[in-house]
């Protein structure tokens, strides 16, 4: 079986864990994992690694993400979407354009955000959603995230909805963003629908539904380097490529960024992930993938 990534189009109603199970069954393998959990009620891009590529998941999960969301004014829920319990309601009209523009502006850039209690955030080693379902008290600390772009595409006065485009950093909850837009605009709000359109190099227009993947089979698995273009690339001579695979450092003349991972190639073949060590001016292995 081919190693690599599946650009999976998760349908609404399927959990990320179930999506991995679907890929395992379709491809007839055991080793698979996903990057960046997508809520069961949401749809869209879910990167899934199979075989040796599972060791590369951390390098795709931290990339920028893009979403399209529908925000509904009039209520706020404990989960941040329209599937949760209502905690605030209002019959107020939709905020005017100036108020919405101000709310959107206040939530663009580097912001502090508190994830919903029904989320995969770990509290004392347990997921917040599991604690909440067990009726345990849940206090989630706020975190710093970056919203690179937040744009209102359309508004429907009758339905009291906004259609939003969002581009953001890892760890951003769109449910929380919709809730916070409502709070900033003075009218309770919740997320009514969500599609993830992009995770790094994984895009919606090339994602495979479960049915499409079943028809493609192994052809639906792409080489890992296709989805690592956000990383710096370094080509090693063949002899040093073999050294890299054995965990040996390679001295180089170039000065590279020592804080970021580097995709290492030799003879055009992807070998794994390395880092530049400034003290020794060397490339060292971080994750070996192999020929």
Beta strand segments in 81-160, E: 86-89, 109-113, 122-123, 126-127, 143-156
Q: Is 279 helix (H, G, I), strand (E, B) or coil?
A: coil
List phi, psi (to 5°) of 181. -60, -45
CA 108 to chain centre: 18
Q: Which residues of 142-175 are buried (b: 16+ CB within 10 A; e: fewer)?
A: eeebbbeebebeebeeeebbbebebbbeebbbbb
Per the structure block, which two tokens stand in for 173? 């909850």
The whole-angstrom separation of Cα 131 and Cα 117 is: 9
Nearest to 93 by CA among 183, 188, 177: 188
21: enclosing H helix or E strand: helix 16-27
> What's the full length of the chain, in residues?
291
Per the structure block, which two tokens stand in for 283? 């490339």
Beta carbons within 10 angstroms of residue 228's beta carbon: 22
Q: What is the DSSP letter of 113?
A: E
Catalytic residues: 39
Strands 250-251 and 282-288: antiparallel
């Amino acid at each position: 079986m081919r190693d690599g990534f599946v650009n999976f189009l998760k349908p609404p109603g399927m959990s990320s864990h179930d999506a991995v199970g679907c890929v395992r069954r379709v491809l007839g393998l055991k080793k698979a994992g996903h990057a960046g959990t997508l809520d069961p009620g949401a749809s869209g891009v879910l990167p899934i690694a199979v075989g040796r590529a599972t060791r590369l998941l951390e390098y795709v999960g931290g990339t920028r993400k893009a979403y399209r969301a529908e925000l509904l004014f009039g209520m706020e829920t404990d989960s941040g979407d329209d599937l949760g319990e209502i905690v605030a309601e209002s019959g107020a009209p939709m905020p005017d354009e100036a108020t919405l523009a101000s709310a959107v502006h206040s939530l663009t850039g580097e912001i502090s955000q508190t994830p919903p209690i029904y989320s995969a955030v770990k509290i004392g080693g347990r997921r917040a959603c599991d604690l909440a379902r067990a009726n345990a008290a849940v206090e989630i600390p706020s975190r710093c995230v970056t919203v690179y772009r937040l744009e209102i595409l359309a508004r429907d006065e009758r339905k009291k909805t906004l259609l939003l485009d969002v581009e953001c950093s890892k760890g951003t909850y769109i449910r929380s963003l919709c809730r916070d837009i409502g709070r900033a605009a003075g009218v309770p709000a919740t997320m009514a629908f969500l599609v993830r359109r992009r995770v790094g190099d994984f895009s919606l227009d090339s994602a495979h539904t479960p049915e499409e993947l079943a028809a493609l089979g192994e052809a639906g698995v792409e080489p890992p380097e296709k989805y690592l273009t956000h990383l710096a690339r370094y080509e090693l001579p063949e002899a040093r490529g073999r050294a890299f695979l054995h965990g040996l450092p390679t001295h180089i003349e170039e000065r590279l960024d020592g804080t970021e991972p580097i995709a290492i190639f030799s003879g055009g073949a992807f070998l794994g992930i390395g880092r530049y060590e400034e003290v020794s001016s060397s490339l060292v292995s971080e994750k070996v993938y192999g020929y």
